[in-house]
Amino acid sequence: MARMSRETRTGLYVAVPFALFIGLFLLYPTGAIIYSAFTPGDQLSLDGILRSLSGTYRQGFINSTVLAVTTALIGGVIGMLLAVVMRSLERPRWLHSSLDSWSAVASQLGGVPLAFAFIAAIGTQGLLTKVFAQVGININDLGVSPTGFWGLVIVYLYFQIPLMFLVSLPAINGLRRTWREAAAIMGASGARYWVRVGIPILTPAALGGMLLLFVNSFAAYATAYVLNPGGALVPLQIRFLLQGNVISGEEDLGYAIVTWVIGILMASLFLLTWLQRRTLRWTQS
């Protein structure tokens, strides 16, 4: 009993400060935002919640969703395939550690440095823009510019692909070689093995990784702000409303948009948790 008491006290010493931290810096701000969204002008009302889904603000949700889905699908497929290929390569050994290190850095490299790097690469006076111009190709005419939709997609993929690589690697490493050997003994080809065994097992991990990419892209702010500060994206609209660039009282509309974003992120979190549990059934069995 004495030992259990010491363990309990130790757990409380760790849990209480953590709970206070979460309550002060996460739960309280979240509750305050939701309260402000439903009480514009200190009166209970749904006007702000409904207005945040109309007009230009609805278009902002549409644009952010399309951008997030596009980068999640492209980045998810490329990142997953990259992880599969790397697992199958035995040599050179240094390539694995190098790619892991680059992915860890690139998946967290966003914001202002990344935006300026791509401006220098594919901007109007960018290096790649001039290189392609030498052979008669104007990449801006193809829709590839830092301020355009596909320009943002290319920029976001820089951190989306390595993030998917890191997320999917544990699930791919969980594929046992004995499963492949057993399928081969039973006469299954490589393609049939992937269709009947590999892909079904990796599907929850792939969907979970893409969902994480969706959230990562939907909530990205600094990169989009540097590239296109006037763009109709949800994070930029929230900044515009909450920084006082509107008439008095419109700040509540910003809180309403944030409330919808919180709802989207919470729904994604619950779905991601469920998919991770499905993945662990195979990787830990």
List Cβ neighbours of 70 (8 Å cut-off, separation of 6 or more). Answer: 153
Residue 219 and residue 235 in contact, taking contact as beta carbons nearer than 8 Å: yes
Percent of the chain with pLDDT over 70: 93
Locate 224 and state its tokens. Answer: 């989009």
What is the reported pLDDT for 244? 64
Give the whole-angstrom CA distance, residue 171 versus residue 280: 8
What is the reported pLDDT for 151? 83
Among candidates 213, 235, 215, 211, which has minimal Cα distance to 225? 235
What is the reported pLDDT for 248? 54
**Of residues 65 and 241, which shows the higher confidence score?**
65
What angle (nearest 5°) sits at the alpha carbon of residue 131, between those of residues 127 and 137? 125
For residue 81, pLDDT over 60 is answered with yes
Locate 123 and state its tokens. Answer: 């901007």
**Of residues 73 and 151, which shows the higher confidence score?**
73
List Cβ neighbours of 60 (8 Å cut-off, separation of 6 or more). Answer: 232, 233, 234, 236, 237, 257
For residue 164, pLDDT over 90 is answered with yes
What is the reported pLDDT for 247? 57
- Report the pLDDT averaged over residues 115-139: 82
What is the reported pLDDT for 69? 96
Residue 205 and residue 168 in contact, taking contact as beta carbons nearer than 8 Å: yes
Give 25-59 pLDDT, tens digit per residue. Answer: 889 999 999 998 898 877 888 888 998 898 889 99
Percent of the chain with pLDDT over 90: 25
Residue 209 and residue 168 in contact, taking contact as beta carbons nearer than 8 Å: yes
Give 222-252 pLDDT, tens digit per residue. Answer: 888 888 887 889 999 988 888 765 555 577 8
What is the reported pLDDT for 1? 44
Length of the chain measured in residues = 285
- Report the pLDDT averaged over residues 166-192: 82
SS (H, E, C) 84-114: HHHHHCCCCHHHHHHHHHHHHHHCCCCHHHH
- Report the pLDDT averaged over residues 111-125: 81
Locate 206 and state its tokens. Answer: 């792939």
- Report the pLDDT averaged over residues 9-13: 74
If you search the block for the tokens 């790649």, which residue do you land on?
A: 128
Give the whole-angstrom CA distance, residue 76 versus residue 159: 11
Locate 164 and state its tokens. Answer: 């998917």
> 24-28, 158-162, 181-185, 211-215: lowest mean pLDDT where?
181-185
Note the pTM of the prediction, 2 decimals: 0.85
Q: Concatenate the DSSP letters of all residues of the chain into one string.
A: -HHHHHHHHHHHHHHHHHHHHHIIIIIHHHHHHHHHHH-GGGS--SHHHHHTTSHHHHHHHHHHHHHHHHHHHHHHHHHHHHHHHHHH--S-HHHHHHHHHHHHHHTT--HHHHHHHHHHHHSTT-HHHHHHHHTT--TTTTT-STTSHHHHHHHHHHHHHHHHHHHHHHHHHTS-HHHHHHHHHTT--HHHHIIIIIHHHHHHHHHHHHHHHHHHHHT--HHHHHH-TT---HHHHHHHHHTT-S-TTTHHHHHHHHHHHHHHHHHHHHHHHHHHHHHHHHHT-
> Which range in 84-93, 163-172, 197-206, 208-217 is most confidently predicted, on average pLDDT?
208-217
